[in-house]
Amino acid sequence: MRRISLVGAVAAIAVAATACSVSTQPGGTSAADTKKSGQLVIGFSEVTQQSPFYVQLKNGAQQAAAKAGAKLLFADANGDVTKQNNDIQDLITRGVNVLLVNPVDPKGVAPGLAAAKAANIPVITVDRPVPSGALSHVGRDNVKMGQIVGERVAKALGPAGGKVIEIQGDAGGAVARDRRDGFHKGVASNPKIKIVEGPYCDYIRSKAVTAMQDLLQANPDVKAVYAHNDDMALGVLQVLRENKRTDVKVAGVDGLMEAVKQIPNGQYVATALNDPIHEGELAVQTAAKAHDGGQAPSYVDAGTALVDPSNAAGLAGATVFARSSS
């Protein structure tokens, strides 16, 4: 009897753990039941919910799924690639038709992608690409985003140039690499601009605050700071203002509304649109195309544009991110 009870308890724990790892939209039916009924079931494995961008990316996907009559099963990897691979396996087990993957690590997620391939489930990467294993990628030209912001920073600094500190995203990530390369390209026309590459702060504001406190002490002659997203750039702005350094220009990427509303004040120079709601919608639309016959394009560009003092006031609104017109 003790053996039977122990086996039953272990089985109950395993079922509970699986149920807690993946959330679903309201409805009460299982993914297997919805597949039998012909409803499209989409799994979405996301890197984190600790950044406003990724919260809104999820919201965009959920809105599009509801509009399309699809069921969305969501899993938050919380920045842990091992958990993400386990989440993907859970989603496969639950019988999804298509997988959306926003990878923690483009190479580290390979086991999850291999499992999807073995199950004959198409994978669409979102925001962050992978070297191989995906049918399609929905994202933006991050080189372009970095470049247009870099060009605007160079304009703000003028011929005198000066020292620019760069607060980076995630080590080894394609988005961080592209935003870095684009920015460097954007300021290259002025040889008097010198870039100091700061630490990787994982797109998190609190980490950028800590980093900038040290960087400002080590670089009192800094003229501008560029961060790979607006959340980090706003952390930088906070430190500069606390130290009464309103002379230092700041720029970011993403079009976070909090940053857009700072631009008319003058110190925050520019950002680039990176509307996560629209990107989430495109991801679900691409998943539907993949399910309908595998004809999804290999790359879907969600588009971008520069936000600076010339248009920031017109883009200000109640949304978390400035919305793209597309």
Where do the domains of the chain lie? Answer: 2-138+277-295, 142-273+307-315
User: What is the per-residue pLDDT for 294?
Assistant: 63
SS3 189: coil
Record: fold of 142-273+307-315: Rossmann fold (3.40.50)
Q: Find all residues with CB under 8 Å of 5, minimum gap 6, and list them.
A: none
User: What is the per-residue pLDDT for 173?
Assistant: 85
User: What is the per-residue pLDDT for 179?
Assistant: 98
The backbone torsions φ and ψ at residue 248, rounded to the nearest 5 degrees and listed phi first, read -90, 125
User: What is the per-residue pLDDT for 160?
Assistant: 97
pLDDT at 15 over 70: no
Tell me if domain 2-138+277-295 and domain 142-273+307-315 are identical in fold.
yes
The half-sphere exposure of 221 on its side-chain side, counting CA atoms within 13 A, is 8
**Exposure of 37 by Cβ count < 10 A (0-12 exposed, 13-18 middle, 19+ buried)?**
exposed
Q: Which residue has the tokens 């790979």?
A: 228
pLDDT tens digit sequence for 17-34: 433 344 444 434 455 554
Q: Which residue has the tokens 């199950």?
A: 119
What is the rounded CA–CA span in Å between residue 225 and residue 150? 11
> Which architecture characterizes domain 2-138+277-295 according to CATH?
3-Layer(aba) Sandwich (3.40)
User: What is the per-residue pLDDT for 226?
Assistant: 98
Region 253-263 average pLDDT: 97
pLDDT at 36 over 90: no
With contact defined as beta carbons under 8 Å apart, do 176 and 228 qualify? yes
**What are the angstrom distances between the C-alpha of 185 and each of 161, 168, 195, 312?**
15, 16, 12, 24
Region 184-209 average pLDDT: 96
Q: How far is CA 233 from the centre of its chain?
A: 15
pLDDT at 211 over 70: yes
User: What is the per-residue pLDDT for 18?
Assistant: 38
pLDDT tens digit sequence for 126-156: 999 999 999 999 999 999 999 999 999 999 9
